[in-house]
Structure 1
Amino acid sequence: MTGLAGTRRLTRLALRRDRVQLPVWLAALTLLEYGSAVSIVEGYADPAERTAFVVTSANNAALLAFNGLVSGDSVGATIASQVLLIMLVGAAAMSTLTVVRHTRQNEETGRAELIGSAPVGRHAPLTAALIVAAGANLVLGVLAALALVACGLPAGGSAASGVAVAGTGIAFAALAAIAAQLTSGARAANGLAAAAIGAAFLLRGVGDATGDVRGVRVDPGWASDLSPIGWAQRIRPYDGDHWIVLLPLLALTAAAAAAAFALAARRDLGAGLLADRPGPPRAGRGLRSPLGLAWRLQRGVLLGWVVAVVVVAAGMGGVGDAVGDVVASSDAVADAIGRLGGGGSPVDAYFAAVLSLVGVAVAGYAVQALQRLRTEEGGPLEPVLATATGRPRWLAGHLLIAAAGVVLLLAVAGATTGLVYAAATGGNWHLTGTLTAAALVRAPAALVLAGFAVAAFGLLPRLVTAITWAVFAACLLLGQIGQLLNLPAAVLDASPFSHVPAAPVAPVTAAPLVVLTVVAAALTATGFAAFRRRDIG
């Protein structure tokens, strides 16, 4: 039997397991790219306005760090500078989660040991995971290119953009394969992979922000050369289409994949190459309650989200100083920001729009945190319930941590955005409190998604992951491109975030927040009642 025996069947099994998750990822990223491209095509139809916008972007370090590399003032180049970075990060996240799910998670849950009792080669599971991730990225690359062609852009540049997205995703899939060999848990492996994406993003951001500006083109600094995301940007779609830049991505993919296979051959099944630290012989007082246990399990995820929110919020606050120039460059852009932010002054509308995005993103934290419920049910839950701990107390512990995390992350986002904006403008320190309160207004809507996750866990535990992430993706898309595409109000109202007052532009009224809180409570109660009545496992 060879080391790859059974790869074909494991690939089919992995595709069956991901028959919902991967299509959701592909559809969400493709629609996000298409909607963003359409808004730019419509917003910058006038060449003079487009050039003014590109010059503003090229000369603002914060915009370069968080939007992407500026490479020309054509319609295609403008879209690439605003959209390509999002697609690269999205492809990387999809790839890392997919690889870890079909490697380290299978070992952690015992599936790999069961599969290993059949005639399956040692390298077959890792090979199947990489095949699935690579195939998903190739499909994403094709869809991304077709979405841009549908916007009327040249096929050559669209193909270069799609290849950049696919190449980046495949490279990070190989890096995730290494992370899966180093750790003994799926959460730790996902954490290492996420750290790699974050480091690549930050290095690219530093390189772009410190690059040389030459009119409507930016040559990034040396830090960008250390980042796979920076390499992908240098393909420069619609500005030369430098295909040669794919060689470093291919080399990284080959080297990382080879390293992953070599490491897999040197470790025991279920073990990681990084030794786990032994815990204390006795549990602390904090672990003597379901709430303490939930905090111990969730604190790493929350800390990672706090760091990410601080970085993103700092970028949003820094960009706020340039909003006036960006709005002045195009009436269509001013109208788009007004629709997303609910009107008002350009700066207030901008902050309302970005805080709405933060609110949806923080709901993603709640969904991720509550996915731990299903993970625990497949493992240590039964021994916990064999003690004096009842189901409601155990479930309430995880829910309280998730809800408190939502409030904390929103407060951190608002405060960081206000502080950075005040520092950039040399005043307006009063906006820190205003933006903190405006961010917290989004909490009830985020808690609706948390309540939905609990209800799905109680009613449909086998489908909870797919259902909750699909609903989250729908809310994200409706919030970001629904207004720009002029979707019917009935469709937009399906998202709880469409009912949140657009603070700091609109006055905050209690009625919608109370209704959202009641809906969240009803969904949560439904989940508690269903969980008490169904079987475990």
Structure 2
Amino acid sequence: MTALAGTGTLTRLALRRDRLALPLWALVTGGLVASGPGSLGGLYDTAAARAELAASMTANSSMRSLYGPVFSDSLGGLVAWRFGAFAAVLAAVASLIVVVRHTREEEETGRQELLSAGAVGRRAPLTSALLAALTLNTAAALLIVAGLAGQGLAGALALGLAVGGTGMVFATVAALAAQLTESARLAKGIAGGVLGLAFVLRAAGDSGDASGSSVLTWLSPVGWAENVRAFGGERWWVLLLIAAAVLAQTVLAYGLAARRDVGASFLATRPGPAAGRLATAGALALRLQRGALIGWGAGFLLGGLVFGGMAEGAAELVGDNEKAREIFERMGGQAALTDAFLATMVSLFGMLAALYAVGAVLRAHTEETSGRAEPLLAGSLGRLRWAAGHLVPAFGGAALILLAAGLGLSLGFGGSYGSVLGAALAQLPAVWTLAGVATLLWGAVPRAAGAGWAAAGLCLALGWIGPALDLPQAVLDVSPFAHLPRLPGPETTWTPLLLLTALAAALTAAGLAALRRRDLQV
């Protein structure tokens, strides 16, 4: 039996298991870029307007840190500037999730050991996971190329390869992380932390250098994708740097995988104390969720500081372009550009907080399916008390990380502490509604609990991309965030906040009631 025996079968299994998630990720990533010519072409419909935008964005250090410098004032160049970095980050996030899911997560649940008892080679699991990620990134790159080329934009190949290549860089980062730790959750955290660091390095480098040639930018794989310079005098040789990183990390991951047993890792798990210190199920749940809560809180605080510092430059971002101003006002809801920018950022943090809340709720589902919940519930502990232990960090933790975001925005902006903190907390009813949806799915239809991620992702897409695409209000209203008052601003409407809070409570109660009646899923 060779080291790659069974790779084809495992790959087909991985693609079948992700037959919905992979196409969705590819469509979102490719569709984000392909929608760019329509939205930017309508906003800046003349060469003079595009040249003015490119010059103002390149001169604005805050905007360079967010989107990067503009290398070409053509429509294709503006699309690459506005959507390229975020598409690369989306591809990276999807790739690291796919690789960890089909490597470390399979080992953690014990399924990989069962599969390895058959005719499965040593390197087959890792190879099949990387092939699944390669399929995802190839599909996203093809959608980008086809979408832009179909609108008459020659040069889309470089952008598609840059986005897909960045996804593969972080797929191999995740492959390395999966060898280092015994926990799939920690492996995702390590890979996600590397991605966050890469984005921060790129942002810091571009903030100080308008040419994209900063050392910090070149230390970041996201910066490499930017420096391919699609539509702006393509640097094809940068793709060789991306390919070299993918190859080196793949070889290292294979080397590490060959030196450990299935289920083992290179970072030893720290043993717990001899005497137990967790007296309640709630304390155990908080201990399990503590790392994620601290990580999200620190990220929200840092992000708030960065975006708060950009608020004063909001007017410079759109200049005198009325269409751009209209989009910001649709996203932020206020006529004043600074308030609109802050409201937009608060709304973005709210939608991201929904991802945390859904993940925290579904941590209970993971505990159930892994078999760790059954021993706890075999004693006097009731299901509702056990479930409540996980829901408190989910709902309460969402409030804490939004407070961190509001504090960061206030400190970065340099004032309006009360109004910005209040605006951040006003996102909670919508966040709790999506957490309630996840609770209902987990309690009533546990096999479909993962659809909670799809609901949160749909709301994120509608809130962040929908206004720029000028989607009908009826479509935008699918998201609970569309019904929130746009703050900070002079007016506050309490009715939607109360109604969404009541809806979240009803969804959560229905999910818990269903959990009490059904059998445990193992």
Which residue is equivalent to 2:224? 231
Amino acid at match of 1:143: L
One of 498, 501, 504 as aligned partner of 1:517: 501
Deviation at 1:349, TM superposition (A): 1.3
Q: Say whether the 8 Å CA contact 1:210–1:220 is kept in structure 2.
A: no
Amino acid at match of 1:415: L
Which residue is equivalent to 1:311? 302
Find the aligned partners of 1:317 and 1:484 in 2 and give their Cα distance.
22
Deviation at 1:35, TM superposition (A): 3.8
Deviation at 1:81, TM superposition (A): 1.4
Q: CA 1:506–1:138 in 2, change beyond 3 Å: closer, same or farther?
A: farther
1:40-439 → structure 2 map (5 Å cutoff): 40-150=40-150, 152-156=151-155, 158-211=156-209, 213=210, 218-284=211-277, 287-379=278-370, 380-422=372-414, 429=415, 431-439=416-424
Which secondary structure state, in structure 1, belongs to the residue aligned with residue 249 of structure 2? helix
Q: Deviations over 1:117-173 (max 9, x none)?
A: 1111111111100001011101011112223334x35222x1111100011111111
Q: Say whether the 8 Å CA contact 1:341–1:350 is kept in structure 2.
A: yes
Deviation at 1:4, TM superposition (A): 0.6
Deviation at 1:336, TM superposition (A): 1.2
Find the aligned partners of 1:37 and 1:437 in 2 and give their Cα distance.
36
Unaligned runs of 5+ in 2: none
Q: CA 1:397–1:180 in 2, change beyond 3 Å: closer, same or farther?
A: same
Percent identity of the aligned residues?
43
Unaligned runs of 5+ in 1: 423-428
Q: Say whether the 8 Å CA contact 1:36–1:481 is kept in structure 2.
A: no
Which residue is equivalent to 1:442? 427
Q: CA 1:433–1:147 in 2, change beyond 3 Å: closer, same or farther?
A: farther
Q: Deviations over 1:382-441 (max 9, x none)?
A: 01111221100111111111111111111111121121112xxxxxx2x12211101111
Is 2:432 the counterpart of 1:454? no
Q: Say whether the 8 Å CA contact 1:501–1:508 is kept in structure 2.
A: yes
Amino acid at match of 1:502: R
Q: CA 1:63–1:488 in 2, change beyond 3 Å: closer, same or farther?
A: closer
Q: CA 1:401–1:37 in 2, change beyond 3 Å: closer, same or farther?
A: farther
Which secondary structure state, in structure 2, belongs to the residue aligned with residue 155 of structure 1? coil
RMSD across aligned positions (CA): 1.4
Amino acid at match of 1:519: L
Farther off after superposition, 166-175 or 58-67: 58-67
Deviation at 1:506, TM superposition (A): 5.7
Number of equivalent positions: 520
Is 2:2 the counterpart of 1:2? yes
One of 471, 475, 484 as aligned partner of 1:491: 475
Q: Deviations over 1:441-496 (max 9, x none)?
A: 1100010000000000011111211x111111211122123233333332222111
Farther off after superposition, 55-64 or 186-195: 55-64
Find the aligned partners of 1:65 and 1:472 in 2 and give their Cα distance.
27
Q: Say whether the 8 Å CA contact 1:360–1:476 is kept in structure 2.
A: yes
Deviation at 1:298, TM superposition (A): 0.4
Which secondary structure state, in structure 2, belongs to the residue aligned with residue 482 of structure 1? coil
Which residue is equivalent to 1:425? none
Q: Say whether the 8 Å CA contact 1:37–1:83 is kept in structure 2.
A: no
Q: Say whether the 8 Å CA contact 1:456–1:468 is kept in structure 2.
A: yes
Find the aligned partners of 2:18 and 2:474 in 1 and give their Cα distance.
30
Amino acid at match of 2:380: A
Farther off after superposition, 188-197 or 489-498: 489-498
Deviation at 1:31, TM superposition (A): 3.0
1:498-537 → structure 2 map (5 Å cutoff): 498-505=482-489, 507-537=491-521
Q: Say whether the 8 Å CA contact 1:7–1:127 is kept in structure 2.
A: yes
Q: CA 1:279–1:134 in 2, change beyond 3 Å: closer, same or farther?
A: same
Q: Say whether the 8 Å CA contact 2:333–2:343 is kept in structure 1.
A: yes
Find the aligned partners of 1:160 and 1:310 in 2 and give their Cα distance.
35
Q: Say whether the 8 Å CA contact 1:451–1:523 is kept in structure 2.
A: yes
Which secondary structure state, in structure 1, belongs to the residue aligned with residue 478 of structure 2? coil
Q: Say whether the 8 Å CA contact 1:204–1:224 is kept in structure 2.
A: yes
TM-score by length of 2: 0.97
Q: Deviations over 1:171-215 (max 9, x none)?
A: 11111111101101101111111111112112211221121x4xx
Q: Say whether the 8 Å CA contact 2:301–2:407 is kept in structure 1.
A: no
